[in-house]
Amino acid sequence: MARPLLDTVDTFTRLAGHNRVAMLLFRLGDRQAFGINVFKVREVLRRPRLERMPSMHELVSGSFDYRGQTIPVIDLAAAMGYPPLAAVDTAHLIVTEFSRSVQGFLVSDVDRIVHVDGAQMAAPPPALGYGSRVNAVTRLDGDLLAIVDVEQVLAAVNPQQVEISDKVQQAAHGQRAGNRRVLVVDDSLVARTQLADLFRKLDLECLLAKDGAEGLDMLRSLATGPASEQVNLVVSDIEMPSMDGYALTRAIREDAQLRGLRVLLHSSLSGVFNEAMVARVGADRFIAKFQPEVLATAVLDLLPA
pLDDT score of 159 more than 90: no
pLDDT digits (tens, 9 = 90+) for 221-242: 999 999 888 999 999 998 888 8
Q: What is the DSSP string of the chain?
A: -HHHHHHTHHHHHHHTTTTEEEEEEEESSSS-EEEEEGGGEEEEEEPPP-B--TTS-TTEEEEEEETTEEEEEEEHHHHTTSPP-TT-TT-EEEEEEETTEEEEEEESEEEEEEEEEGGG-BPPPGGG--GGGEEEEEEETTEEEEEE-HHHHHHHHS-------HHHHHHHHTT-SS--EEEEE-S-HHHHHHHHHHHHHTT-EEEEESSHHHHHHHHHHHHTS-GGGS-SEEEE-SS-SSS-HHHHHHHHHT-TTTTTSEEEEEES--SHHHHHHHHHHT-SEEEES--HHHHHHHHHHHS--
pLDDT score of 94 more than 70: yes
* Residues 263, 272 contacting (CB under 8 angstroms): no
Q: How confident is the model at residue 4 (pLDDT cuts 50, 70, 90)?
A: very low
pLDDT score of 283 more than 60: yes
As a whole number, mean pLDDT of residues 198-210 equals 93
Q: How confident is the model at residue 3 (pLDDT cuts 50, 70, 90)?
A: very low
Q: How confident is the model at residue 202 (pLDDT cuts 50, 70, 90)?
A: very high
* Residues 8, 55 contacting (CB under 8 angstroms): no
pLDDT digits (tens, 9 = 90+) for 102-152: 999 999 999 999 988 888 888 888 888 888 899 899 999 899 999 999 989
Instruction: Tell me how far apart the alpha carbons of residues 236 and 244 are, in angstroms, rounded to a whole number.
Output: 9
Instruction: Tell me how far apart the alpha carbons of residues 76 and 113 are, in angstroms, rounded to a whole number.
Output: 19
Q: What is the DSSP string of 5-22?
A: HHHTHHHHHHHTTTTEEE
pLDDT score of 18 more than 70: no
pLDDT score of 181 more than 60: yes
Percent of the chain with pLDDT over 90: 57
pLDDT in the model for residue 17 = 53
Q: How confident is the model at residue 273 (pLDDT cuts 50, 70, 90)?
A: low
More confident residue, 180 or 62: 62
What is the model's pTM? 0.82
